[in-house]
Structure 1
């Protein structure tokens, strides 16, 4: 079970504290078991800081605490605090990566059979799309819907999400696209062929939790080969 420790402290020497944390990271390289650390400053009290440290489990957190470097750094940290810091230990019982979930819902929405559903709850109006297959970037919700409808007009398809990595305001998704050509696509008539391609999409999210930008990388050449578009070139 994922374990989180919350460290609450007050200090007027945050720059020194920050350098101390850099020293701890350097000294425990290859040994520390923490997977994620966030430090926040109280907007109403510039001397109040909270650090949230994530570990794979409570046992891994204890291993981290028992490192000699951790104990030494802790003593130095206490000396920099205006008062004794407090610690809260938490077992994580629910963990929702909201941006990653929104990215998954986006892939599901654009592939849903029938009419393309509204995307307003997923995508911002000022959406900016980077696709190397297009000469110009796709700008705005209306342009995005036209791009999606072009693909939907040529295929019935689904996305199979293999992996997702979320960091900050970005979510990177590795996917496999499986489709059947049911209509004209890039000048090629409907063939009924079953095709697939792999790709990666990186989504950037705005403060409202909606997708504001995306970068696509996918095997379009492989797709065209499956559709027979390269047969003439190979002769």
Structure 2
């Protein structure tokens, strides 16, 4: 079954809005895992507008499933990840002022840089994933970096699905087939939700893990956090 990793950035955003410690991030991560999620994802950014670097360090002691840290591998991020040694690091090419991730890597243009970064993380026993658009030429180049996995950037699928255009999944099917051919593991994330997740998983082969944050936390406002985690797990079966 595809694993569910819950991105808790939005919980940190809510906490930071009041400057205190409510909701408590460590308790939220602990509860989410107890509710059945198989992983916790965070995406610390340099301005620390949601997840702080100290949060990443503190979470290491409570994440007993899979800890996935996403981010642009600037020197500060690389040092943070090497100090924490999560089970997985996901490399995302977002700019410092990006509201959210909005593109995958150009693995051809950035080949030498990515090879260097991937090598450093793998040398330290950290599984490495590269955030990717569903472009088979770029996925072939991703394999050349030595990465263990790719994470398919699913915003375009989600937009198409919302418009009742089911053909939007086709590029992801082709991309996943190429990744499998090249021996890459497949993750997926961005704008996946209760409404569109099941169709994606049924159609796209080999998806090992989905990372879901914004939609899941938003849906939890209506259904409750424990209920919504369970609902996602049911969608993945």
Where relative contact order (Cα < 8 A, 6+ residues apart) is larger, the structure is 2
TM class, shorter-length? under 0.3
What TM-score, normalized to structure 2? Answer: 0.21
More helix by share: 2
What TM-score, normalized to structure 1? Answer: 0.21
